[in-house]
Chains A and B, each alone.
Chain A
Amino acid sequence: MSGGARAGEDAAIEGVAGYEVVVGLEVHCELSTATKLFCGCANAFGAPPNTQVCPVCLGLPGSLPVLNRRAVELAMRIGSALHCEIRPSTFHRKNYFYPDMPKDYQISQYDEPVNADGYLELPGGARVGIERAHIEEDTGKTTHVGGGGRIHDADHSLVDYNRAGVPLVEIVSRPDIRGAEQARSYVSELRAVLVATGASDGRMEEGSLRVDANVSVRREGSEGLGTRCEVKNLNSLRSLGRAIDFEAERQVAVLRSGGRVVQETRHWDEDEGRTSSMRSKEEANDYRYFAEPDLVPLVPDEELLERATRAMPVLPAARRVRLSALVGDDTAADQVTTVVDLGLDDLVVAAAALGADASLALRRAANEAAQRPEQARRIDAGVFARLLSLESAGTLSATQSKAVLAEVLESGGDPEEIARRLGFEALPAAELEAVLDEVVASHPAEWERYVGGDDKVAQLLTGLVMRATRGRANGKAVAAALASRRA
């Protein structure tokens, strides 16, 4: 297990044997709107500090929020993609002091979120319940200067309010996730859904997607939930997995030593590979939620609902089902997941429709095309289908086919032409027979064993033919020729 607990906080490194790790995730997703949630300022990453601000998103006295309908539409799209109930909702104020929050309260949704009670289906079929997916505004961004970059030791701090008021949807899962691997799978699947719906660009590295993990452990077989800790500062799928592993081991160690887990918020330190306490439940803010008097209840009208659900793209889970059905091979689940994750499933489906062998198309997409996904998404399905047909017909060997595909991905072009340019003319039958004669003559012992029924030696003989033809021979043709000679 990665990120093991270190001596100092909790010494025991016995893993989590005998315990079940229970995880619920809160994912904050920045919506890809042109403007912010409550004003007309641009919602764009990377502008010089405090250049995308106005009286509203700076919370100047007298300013008032006006809800961005496009943000509502995208939030409802997310709800729809997560099989949520989309319903009338209200906004609340979440009150706490923080310098990067201009009004010292955040406008969020509390007891009446726009989306509730949905689920996300993971590759492999597990379903994670979605408790809610609600709309809220983002805060600004504070940079602490000096003193190691944490607020309490800093010389001074700089605040950039460009992000303040950017629309977010917070997606809260139920504690249905079991362990680090499934958590990673949940986030990458959720990310794919968010990108597919057009609601988000899904860039974790730019903070478009931010994840907090609620982690608890319980004895295997027990039903109740253990005391949870909320782990913050998870900036990548890797940190998410490492932090959950660390935190679960830490909690199990606490329980094994006879202690009890304290409910608290913990900070993940990527460099140290550990979590540390930020604040306990007692120190937690009392957010004093109350209904936001500057906004009216959000009652989705028919037009908005229609726009939100119209032209909903086929989501990853459905795309996996479609691809699995096409290839009809249950053992190819990993390849199916890879191809859908990389957005290459349309290529496979289209090539199959043009007559290519679906399994072969999936294999080449999941292995070779997956090395260059950007280019692969751009290649013409007809070109891909022709290449696969050449391979199926035996005109190109597997090795040759892969080489041609690499060339197509690299610089495009016609597969036949590339094959000719690379000298991948099909080996004439007479030439193959001549090479076979030589191989049989130079390896009489092996040939005897083969004739005697030892099929294992066929591979060796085929390899010798391949070497002699410098890969121009087709593996299937060689096997056929060998078999007919033995008969």
Chain B
Amino acid sequence: MTPAASGALALAAQVRAGERSAASVLEESLAAIRGRDPELHCFNALADAHARERADEVDRLVASGTDPGPLAGVPVALKDNICTRSAPTTCSSRILAGWTPPYDATVVSRLAAAGAVVVGKTNLDEFAMGSSTENSATGPTRNPWDTGRVPGGSSGGSAAAVAAGMVPVALGSDTGGSIRQPAALCGVVGVKPTYGVVSRYGLVAFASSLDQIGPLATTVAEAAAVLEAIAGHDDRDSTSLEQAAPRCSEVLDDGARGLRVGVVADFLADASPDCTGAVRAAADVLAGHGASVEEVALPELLHGLSAYYLIAPAEASSNLARYDGVRYGLRVDAPDVETMNGRTRAAGFGPEVKRRVMLGTYVLSAGYYDAYYAQAQRVRTLVARAFARAYAGVDVLLAPTTPSVAFPLGSKTSDPLEMYLADLFTIPSNLAGHPAMSVPFALGEGGMPVGVQVLAPALGERAMFRAAAVVESGADPRARGPVPARGAR
């Protein structure tokens, strides 16, 4: 059995009880990675030497009677935009190839404090810009359900690693759906927490006002456990919330009785029948467990996509300015510094990053700011107001995570706008700073997994996890990773 198949919580319980060693769990994980990664390319780098030290440390703690923490010995994969001392952090970009940060992200320290063992860094769309993990300087990741299809993105490496059973849990980052969309496409659970619940310190910024780190796991309970380990105020992140992070594990058995659920009607028309059907079936499951279910009209949410593709590139154009060849990463030499900057960036960034940096630079320019960036901020406010209207009457919203199941590799790479539509249903939660998560629910077209999205208002994680646990209980168990190796179909 792979570590993922055992489940993170079962593994941690065994390690804490001294029934299994963290070292053996790690070796199983590394073996699974060696077995499947050449085909899937989930990982950019392994931190195996450091991971072995960490696992031994966990085992020593257990032997000495000290509890290593709730995730004792659990192997975790980190999206390669989360800074680690133990392995390079490249954002799947040539411009950061080989760069090892001199510090750990806050989530890395918190995982360590919880006893988890970081095994390596997973592939992503360069700087998290994309929805298929094809925009990677290290090559695309493949979907373990069907290696001819994409795993989604940008946290495609993390989602595929969990779905393939290499690790039981992983961390991703979600700026416009980058955790939830690949989770849905790979048949795993993916959570984007409320903005500010998880520290961004050490997360390489894409769009700072939207980025949020969150867990990917095979079950809702494991996702809750990982979220609790990494959440909470951090003095190093000024946007980190002061409030204590919501405790989600304790509500998983609370059922749906009395829960008020809204189905986002506007999204159903834009999704494929298998995705729409999954949402309706999930709503029935919730109703069957005593929730009240109603459809809500939120047409403003569909405008979120346009606003997002102005705000996120604007912030990205500024966040990515520092990759100038002066201090770290790639440098292409030139006679003067401006030329060096230009050549370095031309050689270091891939086409999608360049597209967004140019778009973002344009929308912030004098003379265009009001028409684009300021207008997008107004739309962002409209989206937040629409959500507020809905949450006056319901506790959570139900929606498709994606418009369709995983699509074939290469099918959308030539049309950026088509690719951007993959995030249509996930973007509004980022704009509002709300939590949302994807739960694998059914099999759809081509036997591929379909996810259902549960959305909640800011700091509404407890209601969200409650609903998600009920949805999970009514899901088709075949829709959930890990999946055995099957290859392309």
A interface with B by C-beta (< 8 Å):
55, 58-67, 93, 95, 97, 99, 102-105, 151-152, 157, 159, 286, 288-290, 293-296
Surface stretch bound by A, among B200-208, B409-417, B473-481 = B200-208
Q: Select from chain B the residue with minimum beta-carbon distance to A105.
A: B318
Q: Does B247 contact A (CB under 8 A)?
A: no
Q: List 10 A-B contacts (CB under 8 A).
A: A59-B322, A59-B327, A60-B101, A61-B99, A62-B83, A62-B103, A95-B317, A97-B324, A104-B321, A290-B318
Question: Residue B322 contacts which of A104, A286, A295, A296 (CB distance < 8 angstroms)?
Answer: A104
Cβ contact of B209, chosen from A64, A66, A293, cutoff 8 A: A293
Least distance between A301 CB and chain B CB atoms (Å): 14
| Cross-chain contact A152 with B336 (CB below 8 angstroms) | yes
Q: What's the least CB distance linking A142 to chain B, in Å?
A: 9
User: B362's closest neighbor in chain A, by CB?
Assistant: A288
Q: Among the listed B201, B315, B336, B338, which residue makes an inter-chain contact with A293, where contact means beta carbons less than 8 Å apart?
A: B315
Q: What is the CA–CA distance of A97 and B314 in the complex, to the nearest angstrom?
A: 16
B337, A62: Cβ atoms closer than 8 Å: no
Shortest beta-carbon distance from B22 to chain A in Å: 27
A93 to B369, CA, bound (A): 14
Given that A97-B341, A104-B321, A286-B366 are contacting pairs, would A62 and B204 also be in contact in the complex, using a CB cutoff of 8 Å?
yes
Which of B153-161, B233-241, B274-282, B436-444 forms contacts with chain A?
Answer: B233-241
Categorize the interface residue count of chain B: 35 or more
In the complex, are the beta carbons of A55 and B89 less than 8 A apart?
A: no
B156 to chain A, nearest CB (A): 20
| Closest residue of B by beta carbon distance from A156 | B337
When chains A and B are docked, how far (Å) is the Cα of A477 from the Cα of B346? 89
CA–CA, A102 and B318, complex, Å: 12
* Nearest A residue (CB) for B329: A61
Contacts of B369 on A, CB cut-off 8 Å? 288, 290
Q: A60-B102, A104-B322, A288-B361 are in contact. Are A294 and B338 (CB under 8 A)?
A: no
Would you give the 0/1 interface string for B231-253, flagging 1 where the beta carbon is closer than 8 Å to chain A?
A: 00001111100000000000000
Q: Give every chain B residue within 8 A of A295 (Cβ-Cβ).
A: 238-239
CB distance from A61 to the nearest CB of B (A): 4
Q: How far is the CA of A61 from the CA of B105 in the complex (A)?
A: 10
Residue of A nearest to B196 (CB): A296
Chain A residues whose C-beta falls within 8 Å of the C-beta of B336 in the assembled complex: 151-152
Instruction: Knowing A66-B235, A105-B318 are in contact, say whether A294-B208 is a contact too (CB < 8 A).
Output: yes
Say yes or no for B328: interface residue by CB 8 A criterion. Answer: yes
Q: Which residues of B are interface residues toward A (Cβ below 8 A)?
A: 81-83, 89, 91, 96, 99, 101-103, 105, 200-205, 207-209, 235-239, 314-315, 317-318, 321-322, 324, 326-328, 336-338, 341, 361, 364-366, 369, 373
* CB <8 Å contact, B103 and A104: no
Are A58 and B103 interface neighbours, CB within 8 A? Answer: no
A65 contact set on B, CB distance < 8 A:
238
A159 adjacent to B326 (CB under 8 Å): yes
Contacts of B327 in A (CB 8 A): 58-59, 102
- Chain B interface mostly helix, strand, loop or mixed? loop
**CB atoms of A296 and B238 under 8 A apart:** yes
User: 9 smallest A-B Cβ distances: which pairs?
Assistant: A104-B321, A288-B364, A293-B209, A293-B208, A61-B204, A62-B83, A62-B202, A62-B204, A99-B326
How distant is the Cα of A62 from the Cα of B101 in the complex, in angstroms? 9
Bound Cα distance A102, B365 (Å): 22
Q: A60-B101, A290-B373 are in contact. Are A296 and B328 (CB under 8 A)?
A: no
Q: Which residue of A lies closest to B240 (CB)?
A: A64
Contacts of B105 in A (CB 8 A): 62
- In the complex, the chain B residue whose C-beta lies closest to that of A38 is B238
A61 in contact with B322 (CB, 8 Å): yes
Task: Give the distance to chain A from B312, nearest Cβ to Cβ, in Å.
Answer: 11
Q: How far apart are B249's CB and chain A's nearest CB, in angstroms?
A: 28
CB distance from B204 to the nearest CB of A (A): 4
Contact of B238 among A95, A152, A288, A294 (CB under 8 A): A294
| B324–A64 CB distance below 8 A | no
CB-based contact B365/A62 at 8 Å: no
**Bound complex: CA A216 to CA B12 (Å):** 73
- Chain B residue numbers with a CB within 8 Å of A102 are 322, 327
Chain A: minimal CB distance from B106 (Å): 10
The chain B residue sitting closest to A152, CB to CB, is: B336
Whether the pair B373, A63 counts as a contact (CB closer than 8 A) is: no
In the complex, the answer to whether B200 meets A64 with C-beta atoms within 8 Å is: yes
B337 contacts A64, C-beta separation under 8 Å: no
Supposing A62-B204, A95-B318, A152-B336 touch, asked if A288 and B326 sit within 8 A by C-beta, the answer is no
Given contacts A102-B327, A290-B318, contact A61 B237 (CB under 8 A): no
Which residues from chain A contact B314 at a C-beta distance below 8 Å?
Answer: 290
Complex partner residue of A64 from B238, B328, B338, CB under 8 angstroms: B238
Question: A64 to B322, Cβ gap below 8 A?
Answer: no
Residues of chain A lying within 8 A (CB to CB) of residue B201: 62-64
Query: Does A64 contact B321, Cβ atoms closer than 8 Å?
Result: no
CA distance A50 to B238 in the complex (A): 26
Inter-chain contacts of A293 with B (CB < 8 A): 207-209, 239, 315
With known contacts A61-B83, A61-B322, A97-B324, A290–B101 Cβ distance under 8 A: no
A288 touches B103 (CB 8 A): no
Q: Which partner residue on chain B sits nearest A296 by CB separation?
A: B238
User: A51 to nearest B CB, angstroms?
Assistant: 15
A49 → chain B closest CB, angstroms: 13
Residues of B within 8 A of A290 (CB): 314-315, 318, 364, 369, 373
Q: Is the CB of A157 within 8 A of B337?
A: yes
Instruction: Find chain B residues with CB under 8 A from A105 CB.
Output: 318, 321
